[in-house]
């Protein structure tokens, strides 16, 4: 399953507009993971990438924070399905439904599409969900908002009995120092991922630590990056 990074604060082409947060598009099954911080940047980057609004059928929002849903209005429309963690505000659900999109609230780990799952943070008060994909390569997880329960979230995938292929996304809350980030890297390494891709919203120090720790398994995330899971 192919993917392409649509939002980040680094880019591999000058035509892209950078911004806070991340967004990733999966051409098959036409799913957009998060929308970044604003409407205009997301719209521009989709256009540069040759992705039409109508190409997107499913939208996955990891968290109600502005950096996750700031660009949402650029891709909403009739017949879209938007997956949000249960407990989000009425304002968000009303906005989604007001333009004819369907809002589906996730209250437990759920298979939303074949071999694609919404995985809730075990601490239900966080209102955070991650996107998990199963393939012949193993399990890949896309994290929009890291919480202290990240290890519990990953542990919850053990029932799939597959090795980890990729851990992608915001892998630092921006509160950790270098020693704590090294311990975080060691903790994630216990899951033995083949690849790890911290987005730039993880912070410069986190990127340095993860690059040094994971070496050839480290992937530099930027707008335009394409890969397969």
pLDDT digits (tens, 9 = 90+) for 103-137: 999 998 899 999 999 988 766 656 788 999 999 99
Q: For residues 149 and 206, what is the distance between their CA atoms, to the nearest angstrom?
A: 18
d(CA 114, CA 111): 7
Residues ≥6 apart with Cβ < 8 Å to 188: 154, 167, 171, 196
Which pLDDT value is given to residue 125? Answer: 58
Q: Tell me: the pLDDT tens digits for 21-35?
A: 899 999 999 999 999
Confidence tier at 147 by pLDDT (50, 70, 90): low
Specify the pLDDT at position 42. Answer: 96
User: What is the pLDDT averaged over residues 168-189?
Assistant: 86
Distance CA 62, CA 188 (A): 20
Q: Which of 22-31, 97-106, 136-145, 205-214 has the lowest mean pLDDT?
A: 136-145
**pLDDT value for 63:** 87
CATH of domain 2-228: 3.60.15.10
**So where are the chain's domains?**
2-228
pLDDT for the residue 149: 58
* SS3 at position 208: helix
Tell me the pLDDT tens digit for each residue of 3-24.
Answer: 999 999 999 999 999 998 899 9
| Cα distances (Å, whole numbers) of residue 130 to 62, 85, 180 | 6, 10, 22
What per-residue confidence (pLDDT) applies to 200? 85
Q: What is the mean pLDDT of residues 171-185?
A: 84
Binned at pLDDT 50, 70 and 90, residue 66 comes out as: confident
Residue-level pLDDT at 14:
96
Q: Give the predicted TM-score (pTM) of the model.
A: 0.93
Q: Is 214 helix (H, G, I), strand (E, B) or coil?
A: helix
As a whole number of angstroms, the distance between CA 157 and CA 69 comes to 25
Query: Pick from 142, 207, 127, 139: which is nearest to 172 by CA?
Result: 207
Residue 155: is its pLDDT beyond 80?
A: no
Taking residue 140's Cβ as centre, other Cβ atoms within 10 Å add up to 25
Q: Residue 180 to residues 5, 93, 207: CA-CA distances in angstroms?
A: 28, 37, 13
């Amino acid at each position: 399953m192919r993917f392409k990074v649509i939002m980040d604060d680094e880019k591999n082409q000058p035509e892209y507009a950078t911004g806070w947060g991340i967004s990733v598009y999966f051409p098959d099954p036409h799913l957009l993971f998060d929308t970044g911080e604003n409407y205009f940047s997301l719209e521009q980057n989709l256009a540069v990438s040759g992705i039409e609004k109508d190409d997107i059928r499913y939208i996955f929002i990891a968290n109600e924070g502005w950096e996750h849903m700031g660009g949402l209005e650029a891709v909403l429309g009739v017949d879209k399905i938007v997956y949000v963690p249960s407990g989000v505000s009425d304002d968000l659900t009303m906005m989604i439904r007001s333009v004819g999109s369907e809002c589906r609230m996730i209250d437990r780990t759920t298979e939303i599409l074949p071999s694609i799952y919404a995985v809730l943070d075990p601490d239900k008060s966080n209102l955070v969900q991650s996107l998990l994909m199963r393939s012949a390569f193993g399990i890949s997880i896309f994290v929009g908002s890291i919480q202290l329960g990240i290890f519990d979230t990953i542990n919850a995938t053990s029932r799939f009995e597959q090795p980890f292929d990729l851990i992608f996304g915001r892998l630092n809350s921006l509160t950790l120092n270098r020693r704590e980030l090294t311990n975080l890297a060691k903790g994630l390494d216990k899951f033995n991922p083949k690849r790890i891709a911290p987005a730039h919203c993880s912070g410069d120090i986190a990127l340095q630590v993860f690059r040094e720790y994971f070496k050839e398994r480290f992937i530099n995330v930027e707008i335009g990056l394409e890969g397969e899971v």
